[in-house]
Amino acid sequence: MKISIIGAGNVGAISAMRIAQCGLGDVVLVDIAKGLAKGKALDLEDARSILKINYNVQGSDDINAIRDSDIVVITAGLARKPGMTREELLAKNSQILKEVCLSIKSLAANSVVIMVTNPLDLMTYLALKVTGFSKNKVLGMGISLDASRFANLISEELNLQPADIDAVVIGAHGEGMLPLAKHTKIKGVSLEKFLNKEKIASLVDKTVGRGAEIVAFLGSGSAFFAPSAAVTEVVKAVAKDEKKILGVCAYLSGEYGIKDTCIGVPCRLGKTGIENIIELDLSEEEKEKFLHSADSIRNLLRQLPVG
């Protein structure tokens, strides 16, 4: 199994480490910055003797290194700089990712593509359109990270183990996300049985604001430890053909009453990528919020350099 990661920054490099250490396949790390991916790959391999795990990580500044990959993870791009508008970021990352996706199309035509770069839902749509791959083979990692953040905050509130909490988040990755209390279960019991509405609302707000909270503390850059753990979980589901249900950004063609939009929903993942889209039973209020979240993505689709 050949797993390529484009972008050897914080998220890309730590994803490479986790994927290699989990034994999911041979890892190729590519970055446009000369020497960066090669240096990080050598450093990662130097730990093999201490860890007593035999993995391979190759680093390169040549995109041709991704040739014939089974899985391609995209973490390349720019982070928002002070003074830069969201539209400017969108325009810059779209240009970077258009090039990257054309390379994936020609070099790794049979791969499953996992988008990580933000704005996630728009970049996933761009990757789907530029590669022309079938819709099951292009997905985005975003809401499984949001669900992990929601679960973590719930576990702290209730003094429970995070692993006992099955948190569900759908919608856009970002401010438009929708943590779903009714569908979030603790050993099969809905979160609504554990906490009152006000407490749940405050945990939802904290979850939505978690990325920004981390950015504010870091001073520069954004989160990478939990994002790389979430990337690894998605890669594992595909690489090991796990048939596991995870929240990912998927292309909808009628599910949830939404068409021609990529947005976060629970999906069954396996070796062909998205094998099923799971349609949750949403209340009227949840449906309305979800459609609103989809509208916020759709309104920006025309700014993408596709078609």
Binding site for ligand APR (CB under 6 A): 6-12, 30-33, 36, 75-77, 79, 96, 99-100, 116-118, 221-222, 224, 227
Give the H/E segment covering residue 186. Answer: strand 185-186
Pick between residue 8 and residue 249 the one whose CB is nearest to ligand APR: 8
Least separation in angstroms between residue 76's CB and ligand APR is 3
Least separation in angstroms between residue 85's CB and ligand APR is 16
Say how far apart CA 190 and CA 196 lie, in whole Å. 12
Pick between residue 31 and residue 121 the one whose CB is nearest to ligand APR: 31
Give the H/E segment covering residue 148. Answer: helix 143-158
Least separation in angstroms between residue 90's CB and ligand APR is 11
The DSSP call for residue 22 is T
Catalytic, 173? Answer yes
Say how far apart CA 240 and CA 271 lie, in whole Å. 7
Residues 6 or more apart whose CB falls under 8 angstroms from that of 13 comprise 29, 40, 44
DSSP string of 214-266?
A: HHHHHSSS---HHHHHHHHHHHHHHHTT--EEEEEEEEEESGGG-EEEEEEEE
Pick between residue 45 and residue 99 the one whose CB is nearest to ligand APR: 99
Least separation in angstroms between residue 280's CB and ligand APR is 25
CB 141 within 8 A of CB 231: yes
Set 173, 210, 236, 289: catalytic member: 173
Pick between residue 96 and residue 130 the one whose CB is nearest to ligand APR: 96
Nearest residue to ligand APR, by Cβ distance, number only: 9
Active site residues: 173
